[in-house]
């Protein structure tokens, strides 16, 4: 007490003692605390992106355009793979997002747009929003608010009378059939589910298409139009069973950007993606792996458990 009075007499401030909080570690790819806010709204993002914390995130899932020699562009079908093409990522309301794309292909498409794939932490924070909720719109799932109650076009195309097809039907070519995302009740246009939106204004982060992240080992998040819960609920949905060159009709992406970071200039530094051989119908394990046979019998025309080359988890997917 005497020391305090002496310090005050000398004009020195006396601050109350406050115990320091213990630092706590968390595994990568988790978002359990409230995200860093955009400091005083100073973060400036491109018109097609939203400020989330300290990064910019694509407002919608990405579609791509093919970049020709001289920088010219032409449309690319979102129902066709991009192997052998130089493509650039774009996003806009009302566009059909690109499926049939691998993690490495998505990375190149983002880079060509001066962006990059989102890290797992960035993706989670964007999906969970300011309130850090399990679903983009809140704490509990509301079926149909996002595109999460679709129809299994795979069953309809390759099964008998809408039943689950034989294991031999789950081939790389069949899983990349351009008809799969064109059937009624499958892939939706970006923003079509207007209430599938985060508090920051990012759309379709759960359902519609799986979204690749920057994880070089191959991770996609958010589920797709047939499954948003088997490998985690909503924003926590995570699949790691496929390598970075894998793709099928359900795999899509969106891009992130660090303000001020330099990316590829439009039309510059583009790399054509090489074709890959069909993957072997086995899982490399990890969360989202599954046996090679369907775990249960699906309803006609409905969702089918994952199997064979799908091996992302026993999810209602095909």
pLDDT at site 105: 98
Residue 19, domain member (yes or no):
no
Residue 251, domain member (yes or no):
yes
Burial class (CB within 10 angstroms; exposed 0-12, middle 13-18, buried 19+) of 244: middle
pLDDT at site 172: 96
pLDDT at site 38: 60
Find the radius of gyration of the CA atoms of the chain: 23
At 167 the three-state DSSP class reads: helix
Domains of the chain: total: 1
pLDDT at site 138: 96
pLDDT at site 43: 83
CA-to-CA dists, residue 22 to 19, 25, angstroms: 9, 10
Domain containing residue 57 = 44-262+275-318
Residues 238 and 232: beta-carbon distance below 8 Å:
yes
Q: What is the β-pairing status of strands 49-52 and 55-58?
A: antiparallel
Average pLDDT per block of 10 residues along the chain, 318 residues long: 45 40 43 51 88 96 96 96 97 98 98 98 97 96 97 94 91 97 97 98 98 97 98 97 96 94 48 48 32 29 36 37
pLDDT at site 309: 37
Please count the other Cβ atoms lying within 10 Å of the Cβ belonging to residue 171.
Answer: 14
**pTM summary value:** 0.76
Residue 22, domain member (yes or no):
no
- Of the candidates 93, 71, 74, the residue with the CA atom closest to the CA atom of residue 82: 74
Q: What is the β-pairing status of strands 87-90 and 73-75?
A: unpaired
pLDDT at site 273: 55
Residue 142, domain member (yes or no):
yes
Residue 316, domain member (yes or no):
yes
Token representation of residue 21: 């909080």
pLDDT at site 301: 35
pLDDT at site 262: 59
- Of the candidates 157, 207, 151, the residue with the CA atom closest to the CA atom of residue 179: 157
CATH of the domain at 135: 3.90.1580
At 248 the three-state DSSP class reads: coil
Residue 29, domain member (yes or no):
no
Token representation of residue 121: 């932490």
Instruction: Tell which phi-psi region holds residue 223, choosing left (phi > 0), alpha (psi between -120 and 50) or beta.
Output: left
Residue 195, domain member (yes or no):
yes
Residues 219 and 238: beta-carbon distance below 8 Å:
yes
Residues 146 and 181: beta-carbon distance below 8 Å:
no
pLDDT at site 162: 81
| Sheet hosting strand 73-75, strand order edge to edge | 73-75, 63-67, 87-90
- Of the candidates 156, 147, 160, the residue with the CA atom closest to the CA atom of residue 179: 156
Under 8 Å CB-to-CB from 5, ≥6 apart: which residues? Answer: none
Residue 139, domain member (yes or no):
yes
């Amino acid at each position: 007490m005497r020391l305090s009075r002496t310090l005050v007499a000398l004009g020195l401030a006396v601050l109350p003692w406050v115990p320091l909080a213990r630092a706590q570690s968390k595994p990568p790819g988790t978002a359990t605390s409230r995200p860093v806010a955009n400091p005083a709204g100073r973060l400036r993002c491109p018109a097609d992106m939203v400020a989330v914390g300290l990064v910019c995130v694509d407002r919608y899932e990405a579609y791509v355009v093919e970049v020709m020699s001289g920088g010219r562009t032409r449309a690319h079908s979102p129902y066709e793979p991009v192997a052998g093409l130089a493509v650039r990522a774009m996003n806009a309301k009302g566009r059909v997002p690109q499926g049939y794309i691998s993690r490495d292909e998505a990375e190149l498409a983002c880079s060509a747009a001066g962006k990059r794939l989102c890290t797992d932490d960035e993706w989670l924070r964007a999906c969970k929003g300011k309130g850090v909720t399990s679903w983009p719109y809140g704490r509990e799932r509301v079926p149909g608010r996002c595109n999460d109650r679709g129809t299994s076009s795979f069953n309809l195309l390759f099964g008998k009378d809408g039943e689950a097809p034989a294991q031999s039907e789950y081939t790389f070519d069949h899983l990349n059939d351009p008809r799969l995302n064109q059937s009624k009740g499958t892939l939706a246009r970006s923003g079509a589910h207007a209430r599938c939106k985060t508090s920051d204004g990012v759309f379709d982060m759960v359902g519609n298409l799986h979204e690749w992240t920057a994880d070089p080992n191959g991770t996609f998040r958010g589920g797709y139009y047939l499954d948003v819960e088997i490998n985690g609920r909503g924003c926590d949905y995570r699949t790691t069973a496929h390598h970075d060159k894998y793709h099928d009709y359900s795999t899509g992406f969106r891009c992130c950007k660090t303000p001020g970071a330099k990316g590829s200039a439009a039309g510059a530094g583009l790399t054509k993606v090489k074709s890959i051989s069909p993957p072997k119908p086995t899982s490399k394990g990890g969360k989202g792996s599954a046996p090679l046979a369907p775990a249960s019998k699906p309803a006609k025309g409905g969702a089918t458990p994952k199997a064979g080359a799908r091996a992302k988890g026993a999810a209602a997917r095909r």
